[in-house]
Structure 1
Amino acid sequence: MLRSLLLVFFALDGLAQGISLSEYAGRREALRKTLTDGVVVMWAAQPPPDIYDRNGVFQEQYFFYLTGWKEPNAALLLCGACPAGSREVLFLPKRNARKEIFEGPQVAPGDRDAVAKTGFATVLPFEKLEGTIARALESAGDLYTLFDGHETTLAKIAPLREVKDVKMALNRMRMKKSDAEIALLQNAVDASVAAHLESWTVTKPGLYEYEVSAVMQQVYYSKGCERNAYPPTVGSGPNSVILHYSANKRRMDAGDVMVLDVAAECSMYAADITRTIPVDGTWTERQKQIYQMVLGAQQAVIDAAKPGMLLSEMTKIARDYFDKQGNGPNGKPWGSYLTHGVSHHIGLDVHDPFDPAMPLPEGAVITVEPGLYLPEENLGVRIEDMIVLTKDGSRLMTSALPREPDEIERRMKH
């Protein structure tokens, strides 16, 4: 077993699937043009010191966004004002024959196919990073990196330069998804929808929450997905009102609802889907009342969503819808039982970074997830779907998973 365990997280040729090298090159060029007088230095993920780290090794997301490179221990330099041939440089570790016995072959600088495999015209040994940074700064002003600890490294290399955070420039780029990204997100959605549908066929009183979680994960792992997009939430009865419940240990009872907030990450792109279902396959009148209210709020947001809006507007639309339904328990407006935001961006991260002041662009992929939570009734309902913003509105990416309460009942009984 040994260090070969790490290979499940890195493709042997280092490349991601589904996005062309030219698209990654286009992103790098766009960043260089945004930071015209800047030098950007970024580091890839590093394997953990403990080879049995159960979290595994996955590529740093911003590095991956610009390169598509999945192997660890790499670095990237971008320079807007440098001479041709040194504007984009990928740094890779030298070949280590003994290491490859345990981890398999990896691309190394000097390989005849390194340029073709990486999409970088210049691939250098990692040891040349520091000297290349120094030369790049001779023709550049600002120095950028991710503020993830590496800013201290750069401060030592270039002590007379201010180090700036490159994240916001990249966050703005990541808000608009390309056609290739949307296709990968749809693949993650389809695998996650299949998992939800399978869970409806097995859920019944007497099962434990973790049994349903296991069934769902098996479905999307069998479809080639690498991991959960986030810790699965399978919360029944009193656990349905706990937003990030992940213990998944309770035995389900007849009369419970169960919140299933479970989705996959496939080819580095995440899905995020939630359904609430009746454990015994039949809604009570009260459960259905709350469910239909949440569904109405969700549809109000979906109907309103379009490019040019701010993400924060989505929560206001849902809360206003709830408040128009009158008051809930204890005379409080129904909107007060919505205890979280209704939308977030999704992509390489389940909560993809963004600029909150920037209007939503066409091609943004966001969730719509209103909910109502009544702890005194052990009743929580959340419905979460993913939409992609189109020219004039939005398209529901999760349409294959029913949302109507009667259809959920029907599917659970067949």
Structure 2
Amino acid sequence: MKKLISAIFVLSIIFSGISQAGFSQVSALSRSRRPSSDASTASVIKAAPPAPKFTDAERQAELAARRAAAAKRMPPNSILLLFSAETRNYAGDVDFYYRQENNLYYLTNLKQKGSVLIIRKAGENVSEYLFVPKRDPSRETWNGKMYSNEDASRISGIRTIIDAAELSKFVEALETKEAFKSSGGVEIGGGITDLLFLLPNGDSDEIGNAEYASESGYAARFKDYNIRNARPIFDELRQIKSPYEIKLLQHAIDITIEAQMRSMAAVGSSKWEYEVHAEVDYTFRKRNADYWGYPSIVGGGPNATTLHYDESQGRIIPGQLLLMDVGAEYDHYSADITRTYPVNGKFSKEQAEIYQIVYDAQEAVAKVAKPGVPFSRLQAEALSVIENGLFRLGLITKKDGRQARRWFMHGLGHWLGMNVHDVGRYGVPLAPGMVFTNEPGIYIREDALEYLPDTPENREFISKIRPAFEKYKNIGVRIEDDLLVTDGGIEWMSKKLPRSIPDIEAFMAAASREITASPLKPE
């Protein structure tokens, strides 16, 4: 659902008291809420809990287990090479925010540019090596502290560290099938037949060709080896989250819940989408998120019918809906939560009718989701509920599986983890530890009928649905939650955020007293 671009955080200066509270208090508070300056009254906006803490031993054990699992999937007499992400230029001498390559981070937790992980498997014997840039005081003056060898070992748990300046010497030794010996006496033996790199999945893999261009260049140098793509190894491993990973992902979700709550509280006193967007960026920074997992979508009225609307330049108009699709990233794990709610705090009849269909589709998916169920079953369940709802409202004339796709044109969801659209196969049954998004939607774009081919079938369709279309046009609704597959079913990781029509209306009535936006002048 999300376009993968980079941008710079916009810092908001909107401050208000944030404290822990239970949503069970919303109904009472909506009737008797005192001004937010009264510290004796608990806030209905849930502040994200403290970030999870891990000892060095816990982190090292987690990373060692991941590396062991990766090595188990390597063929005998092979070497896996994982390179750091390349720096991406923004403009001139300004670079984008640096983000480490996911799979290298998954196995090492190292954020240092220029780091390279080598895992060598000789028979069943596995050895691990890190090439890390040597600390350079002149570079540190400009860009901050680099890892010492001790830092790299403490973070990753890998004991053998080699100066990254010797990487080219190691590559030359690989090319000639000779053993490598570093200036510090570290030896990496020969006898290797297979090399594993992160590589594009063919010429048509545009994202892979862009992200792994450097790896492709290295792989092309080795003519006398079996070159293998390492991505399937990580696609399999990362699809099942460990308890350690789930704690990190839950924290990203908790930060996102707070950002959504603040936005719901501020929308009634805002005049522009960017003002509500600012609440998201403010919360992400205040709660120490690394960044966003994808550019935030804040779309009001007709803008809510554009799936990847990320401009945040429209007016906030009472009586319209606002769609908020946002996700914080924390320690490389991204949340992905969408809420659609009324600017004035109350759904109109037409808005509620569309919203309830989407809500019911979400509920239907959650009821059937459990280990052993294929992802395609979830998609079919959501489409069935939406199709029945659209037919009932007169927005389609047939339950043929095609007409409904005019208003629900995307998939039910996707895997979630280190990428917002995380790696993993969709043809495998659900299993404990998988995390996916449950995000049905309906989008009635005002020009949707204008671009249908002029055929007798389409003319008849347009004629029959026109009254309902005029009634519901410009309504866009998506509801998205993050679900963890458990042994017995699923857990709603984003359950603290109001979702039903009554809960949203009650929450907004209470929360709107806690945050008041101050629009910029002039408009």
TM-score under structure 2 length normalisation? 0.72
Q: Please give the per-residue CA displacement for 1:313-345, whole angstroms capped at 9, x wherever unaligned.
A: 321110012223361425254733211011111
Residue 503 of structure 2, aligned match among 401, 407, 411? 407
The residue identity in structure 1 corresponding to 2:310 is: S
Equivalences for residues 372-387 of structure 1 within 5 A = 372-376=442-446, 377-387=473-483
Post-superposition shift, 1:355?
A: 1.9
Matches within 5 A, 1:306-325: 306-325=370-389
1:275 match:
339
- Find out whether 1:122 has 2:160 as its counterpart: yes
Q: Please show how residues 30-179 of structure 1 align to structure 2 within 5 Å.
A: 30-37=69-76, 38-48=78-88, 53=94, 55-81=96-122, 87-108=127-148, 111=149, 114-132=152-170, 134=174, 135=179, 138-147=190-199, 148-155=212-219, 157-179=221-243
Aligned 8 A contact 1:307 1:359 in 2:
yes
**Who is 1:329 aligned against?**
395
Q: Secondary structure at the match of 2:491?
A: strand
Q: Which amino acid aligns with 1:55?
A: F
- 1:234, 1:246 within 8 Å by CA — same for their partners in 2? yes
How far apart, in 2, do the equivalents of 1:235 and 1:52 lie?
A: 33
Q: 1:216 aligns with which of 280, 283, 299?
A: 280
CA change 1:115–1:284 in 2 (3 A) is closer
Segments of 5+ residues of structure 1 without an aligned counterpart are 6-15
Q: CA deviation at 1:283?
A: 0.7
1:17 is displaced (CA, Å) by 6.9
Partner of 1:159, secondary structure, is coil
**Structure 1 residues 250 and 122 mapped into 2: Cα distance closer, same or farther (>3 Å)?**
same
**Residue 116 of structure 1 aligns to a residue in which SS?**
helix
Name the counterpart of 1:344.
414
> Given that residues 36 and 81 in structure 1 are in contact (C-alpha distance below 8 angstroms), is that contact kept between their aligned partners in structure 2?
no
Pairing partner for 1:394 from 490, 499, 522: 490
Cα distance between partner residues in 2 of 1:68 and 1:201: 36
Q: Secondary structure at the match of 1:197?
A: helix
State whether structure 2 residue 432 is matched by structure 1 residue 362. Answer: yes
Q: Please report how far the alpha carbon of residue 373 of structure 1 lies from its aligned counterpart in structure 2 after TM superposition.
A: 0.9
Is 2:277–2:296's contact at 8 Å kept on the other side of the alignment? yes
Helix, strand or coil for the counterpart of 2:339? strand
Q: Could you tell me how far apart the structure 2 residues matched to 1:330 and 1:352 are?
A: 33
1:44 positional shift: 0.8
Query: For 2:486 and 2:423, how far apart are their aligned partners in 1?
Result: 20
User: 2:495 is paired with a residue of what secondary structure?
Assistant: coil
Does the CA contact (< 8 Å) of 1:371 and 1:381 recur in 2? yes
- 3-state SS of paired residue (2:122): coil
Residue range with higher mean Cα deviation, 340-349 or 129-138: 129-138
Give the secondary structure class of the aligned counterpart of 1:325. Answer: helix
Moved more, 290-299 or 73-82: 73-82
One of 272, 293, 298 as aligned partner of 2:362: 298
What displacement does 1:159 show?
Answer: 2.3
In our comparison, the structure showing a higher alpha carbon Rg is 2
TM-aligned CA distance change 1:33 to 1:232, over 3 Å:
same
Q: Using the alignment, how far apart are the partners of 1:127 and 1:249 within structure 2? A: 47
Quick check: 233-242 or 260-269, which moved more?
260-269
Gaps of 5+ in 2: 1-7, 9-51, 180-187, 200-211, 447-472, 511-523
- Which is further off, 334-343 or 134-143? 134-143
| Contact 1:209–1:249 (8 Å) recurs in 2 | yes
Specify the code of the residue in structure 1 equivalent to 2:435.
V
| Structure 1 residue 176 displacement after superposition | 0.4
| C-alpha distance in 2 between matches for 1:123 and 1:78 | 12
* TM-score calculated relative to the size of structure 1: 0.90
| Residue number in structure 2 paired with 1:26 | 65
Residue 205 of structure 1 and its aligned partner are, at CA, apart by 6.9
Q: CA deviation at 1:269?
A: 1.0
Q: How does 1:197-212 map to 2 (within 5 A)?
A: 197-204=261-268, 207-212=271-276
The aligned residue for residue 10 of structure 1 is none
Aligned-residue identity in percent: 32
Tell whether the 8 Å contact from 1:298 to 1:370 is kept in structure 2 after alignment: yes
Indicate conservation of the 8 Å contact 1:168/1:355, yes or no. no
Distance 1:306 1:371, change over 3 A: same
Give the counterpart letter for 2:107 in structure 1. Answer: L
Aligned residue pairs: how many? 397
Q: Distance in 1 between matches of 2:150 and 2:503?
A: 57
Residue 519 of structure 2 is matched in structure 1 by: none
Partner SS for 2:190? helix
The amino acid across from 1:350 in the alignment is V
Greater relative contact order, per chain length (Cα 8 Å cut-off, separation 6+): 2
Question: CA deviation digits over 1:137-188, x for unaligned, max 9?
Answer: 8333221101112344333542222322111111010000010110111111
